Amino acid sequence: MVRTTPFILAAAALAAVQPALAQDKFENLDRLDSLVAMTVGANLGEPGGPAAPVDRRLRLAACPSTPTVEGPVFGSAMVKCEALGWRIRVPLVPGTAAAASGPVPGSAPGRFVRAAAVAVPRDMLVKKGDPVQLIAGNARFSVSRMMIADEDGALGDTIRVREDRKSAPLMAQVVEMGLVRVPGFNDF
């Protein structure tokens, strides 16, 4: 008969509990993927949904409350933990998605389905190849330069513009017909 001491039993119990404690140190990345998909109303790879899952190499401290998700803004969703101060950006697939609308009559209780996407005609203020004025600045100063639009854009869309065919493209937000703004300069 083998006699176990209380010390050995305590060590065995601690060894069993240790992996569970280690899981609580880091944020559950699957939970973040779900929060982003629910907020933007589209699943991984769908138009308007996350382009890829949250990078599994991240070791974010576990948020004591539910992280907040904002967006989409400039093609990505922002996931934040206000309590700890971390935030990450999750790139989204271009396109729009309809948010979850709630239970549908005749569906199982508690099941949610996505509302059908409604095509809303948008007035394109900038067309591909149009000359546009790119502005940057704030209430105290502004800088502008003539550029060429690389794609069509409606009010608020972020499009690529470039100085000439050989230059690298810049991202700019459509403000009005023929006028785009560098993101980040919104104090006009």
Residue-range domains of the chain with CATH: 7-100 (no CATH), 124-181 (2.30.30.760)
8-59 confidence digits (pLDDT tens): 555 555 555 444 444 568 888 888 988 888 888 888 888 888 888 888 888 9
pLDDT at 18: 47
Average pLDDT over residues 72-91: 87
Average pLDDT over residues 52-68: 89
63 vs 102, more confident:
63
Residues 6+ apart with CB under 8 A from 162: 147, 148, 150, 168, 169, 170
109 vs 101, more confident:
109
Contact between 30 and 10 under an 8 Å Cβ cutoff? The reply is: no
What percent of the chain has a predicted confidence (pLDDT) above 90? 14
Residues 6+ apart with CB under 8 A from 161: 132, 134, 147, 148, 149, 150, 169, 170, 171, 172, 180
25 vs 112, more confident:
25
C-alpha closest to that of 84 among 64, 70, 68, 69 = 64
CA distance 65 to 121: 39
What average pLDDT is seen over the chain?
A: 76
DSSP state of 10: H
Q: What is the pTM of this model?
A: 0.42
DSSP state of 168: P
